[in-house]
Structure formats: C-alpha cells, structure tokens
A = this chain, B = another copy of it.
Amino acid sequence: MTGLFHAPVMQELMEQFGKLPGIGPKTAQRLAFFVLSLSEGEVKAFSQALVNAKETMTLCPVCFSLTDITPCQVCRDETRDRQVICVVEETTDVFSIERARDYRGLYHVLHGSISPMEGRQPEDLKIKELLTRFEGEEGSKIKEVILATNPDVEGETTALYLARLLKPLGIKATRIAHGIPVGGNLEHADAATLAQALEGRRTID
C-alpha cells in the first residue's frame, strides 16, 4: 500500500502555496482544494492579479518603497515634510506607520535588516541609496532621520549601524521608542520591553 498521491497539478499548486510565508503543508492543501471550488473566472482573476502586481510594481527611485507610480505617492506629495526621513525595513512598514496618521515626513525602505547570521550584509540593503539622498539641494534640507527598523536583534543592529554612518554627516538620528504597547498590560510585557520602557521614561508636565 503506497497511499493515494495527489494529481501533479495539485501537487504543484500546493508547492506554490507552500512557498508563501506562514503556509504549512496542510494549509497549502486546503488552499489548493479551495481554488477548485472557485469558478474558472475567479481563478483566472486570481492568476492575473499575481502577474499584474508583479509586472506593475517597481521600486520608487527615491525612497525604494514598492510603488505603481514613480516617484511614489509619498515622495511626489509636496505637502510632506522634507526635513525628516523615516527609515524602515519593508514597504509594508510604510503602510503601518501611515495608518497611525501621525507622521508627515518622507520614508526610506532598506529592504531588510543587517543579519550576518543569515548572510545579509549592509551592502545588500538600500543604505548607499539612503546616503545619496543627503546630497544636493534637496538633501541639504534633511534635518533628521528616524530609525524605525524592527525592535529585534537585526533591527537594532541596523539602526546602530546607520546612526554611526549618519553622525559624521551632521544629521540627527533618532530611534523609535520601545515600551509597553498602548492598551497593553504590564503583566504581559516581557522583561526586555519593560526595561526599555523604564529607561525611556519621560517627565509628566
């Protein structure tokens, strides 16, 4: 008894779903069979959406976020504050920060973080491209760079690396605050976060 094997077309579709982050073999199987429950038109629309997105989206030549127009929505917006650049790891981080509706400066997307363990060196990130932005008339306007990489080892390493690069250029480098999430609970906060929250305490007027 060898057990039942999946049809090659299904095996292939499961492998494709399995490549997606957070999708294990069982979920991949469920998704592949779900696709068969869709109409032919719906499957074609899904199939086309994948190709369309990949063909249309490019990197903004200024901030390197993924965009369908160049320069991107933020870089072309004349109402944005051109004195501040917020450095993030991924384009999705730009959308997260924009949802907060608090920040009105520019962005720079590194496309990753420094991780010697995983073989990601500074030259693999858009760091050279960040430094280019401080050149010329437009570059001279920049007063501050907010380092908004993730608060993990790689993100902290990247922030520190960038802060050291920016110092001799006379540009103020700041790091987003770490602490207890709003609506969060002291009881559930981990020790590292609590230590950071205490260290970053501010005077209440």
A residues whose Cβ falls under 8 Å from a Cβ of B: 1, 3-10, 12-13, 15-16, 19-22, 26-27, 29-36, 38, 40, 42-57, 66-69, 73-74, 90-92, 94-95, 98-99, 101, 104, 187-188
Contacts and interface: CB of A to CB of B under 8 A. Distances in A.
A43 B51 contact: yes
A56 B9 contact: yes
A34 B21 contact: yes
Nearest to A12: B49
B67 A7 contact: yes
Given A30-B187, A34-B20, A95-B29, A9 B44 contact: no
A31 to B, nearest CB: 5
Contacts of A38: 19, 54
